[in-house]
Structure 1
């Protein structure tokens, strides 16, 4: 229950959650535009690097303990960073090169469904009726969205989007299983740094030493999109997120992020001129409802199961 003392903070956090939904939602079309002038490896190196620096600076400003003890915690943070940040963001970037942004956004937010399945097998979490209904809705939504595309084999971008959703889910479940004892802000900062280092390694391996681009030759739309991705999508986005989770229960915060794909799809339609078909919109509606089911507080499902 929210006390009178904490109610103003919770109310402010809900406003920030709406703002975050818009900021992260518009980041989807921004990334698509930026990729027309910046390489995927370069984009992720810059964006994740900026996010890591921002979260480290936030931790120092709040006088949080950012050091992580040697041993198991460092290993778990490294594995979670590769899954949660590096693999997720890199797969997602290449997915947007091979598929419509609206479809990639819809498929990516099937993540709660994969996390629910992985939690059942890896953590032994019980599936109540609400979550079973969510899984069925999600399966139907994915089938409706993917069926028209499967005639000649699923496009590479769609497969990469599915991979991104799965690695995000795997990283989330791994983090929960590992029970890392470090400060949450420190865990996030180090994971972002690991993601940036993996992206930089990919940049150096596949593209060689980066050279200073001729910014005069880059289209203005690309520059605006890149600036939005770095300043708003990554830096401001993570500042908002950590302010939100410090004031709201994790379940409420997770439910609030469902606004992100809504804004992302709308942004792809309005800013990129994409026109999702009926199967896309139907799949989106089912996956959205499915995610809502599996993110609902667990005691709600228990009450519905009660005789």
Structure 2
């Protein structure tokens, strides 16, 4: 059951790009959709333990968790709705590279030989994915590429900070993450809409609220499934099972026209996944909460 719960969570996230695109086509930018999805989870966590708000407000380090989680959702959800899903997901999974560097500076962890190998694999994979067709230096070719890279960095920061704050209550840490999805994504959406960069929330008719509510409920149970599975399995097993998200996103994007696969993307993706797999196999680590 714990493995099935994690697979369900990975399936939801691997397929999430498609409904984000449907809502965007209907007039609801991915940032507004993110706010709507996490509002339900935030309300449920707030009502389940009202002391969590007191702990959260008195712990500045949890504010950084909120910022990192919010930026993760803002970047990833916007990226998969905007560009090539396969490239965005692969660049997002450069997390092992960022996690090594952040753990070194935030947690004081020493760089091991295996960690350096993971960094080399991740960098090599990123080089293949970002290499221009006509040659030249690897660089994000689009806003979606940049959002995938930035989202992966923020997710690594989120996980490192959750390890640092492992002594805090589970409700306070969950509150920090869900509030990030509401307040950070919402703040970014308001600023961008006010500047004319995105549209204010608009849907063709009230009937669109039902699939939006259904998606919010699905995301809520997806997060519950992650907590159930991650709490009952070793952290490295959890990390390996969660890698299912990558092939799910890749296959669905190729099938539904959300991405393309060429040789350099395939080679780069293999290197990035190898780095993620090495990260999961290196040693057991405390479980983290996915955004």
* Alignment length (residue pairs): 276
CA RMSD across the alignment: 2.9
CA gap of 1:119–1:67, structure 2 versus 1, over 3 A, is: same
Most deviating of 152-161 and 112-121: 152-161
Q: Aligned residue for 1:174? A: 161
Q: Aligned residue for 2:280? A: 295
Q: Determine if the alignment matches structure 1 residue 29 to structure 2 residue 15.
A: no
CA gap of 1:72–1:141, structure 2 versus 1, over 3 A, is: same
Please give the residue correspondences for 1:250-261 in structure 2 after superposition, counting only pairs within 5 Å: 250-261=235-246
Please give the residue correspondences for 1:29-68 in structure 2 after superposition, counting only pairs within 5 Å: 29-37=18-26, 38-56=28-46, 60=48, 66-68=52-54
Q: How far apart are residue 108 of structure 1 and its match?
A: 0.5
Q: Determine if the alignment matches structure 1 residue 18 to structure 2 residue 18.
A: no
Q: Determine if the alignment matches structure 1 residue 275 to structure 2 residue 264.
A: no
Please give the residue correspondences for 1:117-196 in structure 2 after superposition, counting only pairs within 5 Å: 117-148=101-132, 154=140, 155-177=142-164, 179=165, 181-196=167-182
Distance in 2 separating the partners of 1:194 and 1:99: 23
Q: Aligned residue for 1:115? A: 99
CA gap of 1:54–1:269, structure 2 versus 1, over 3 A, is: farther
The answer (yes or no) to whether the contact 1:102–1:274 under 8 Å persists in 2 is: yes
Q: How far apart are residue 288 of structure 1 and its match?
A: 0.5
Q: How far apart are residue 290 of structure 1 and its match?
A: 0.7
Q: Aligned residue for 1:264? A: 249
**Counterpart secondary structure, 2:260:** coil
Larger Rg: 1
Q: How far apart are residue 239 of structure 1 and its match?
A: 1.2
The answer (yes or no) to whether the contact 2:80–2:89 under 8 Å persists in 1 is: no
CA gap of 1:228–1:121, structure 2 versus 1, over 3 A, is: same
Q: How far apart are residue 70 of structure 1 and its match?
A: 7.0
Q: Aligned residue for 1:106? A: 90
Q: Aligned residue for 1:9? A: none
Give the ranges of 4+ consecutive aligned residues of structure 1 lying more than 6 Å apart after TM superposition.
none
Residue number among 246, 249, 255 corresponding to 2:234 in the alignment: 249
The answer (yes or no) to whether the contact 1:87–1:167 under 8 Å persists in 2 is: yes
Deviation readout 1:47-70 (Å, 9 max, x if unpaired): 12123234446xx2xx79635437
Q: How far apart are residue 255 of structure 1 and its match?
A: 2.1
Structure 2-normalised TM-score? 0.82
Distance in 2 separating the partners of 1:94 and 1:145: 19
Q: How far apart are residue 247 of structure 1 and its match?
A: 1.3
CA gap of 1:143–1:56, structure 2 versus 1, over 3 A, is: same
Q: Aligned residue for 1:304? A: none
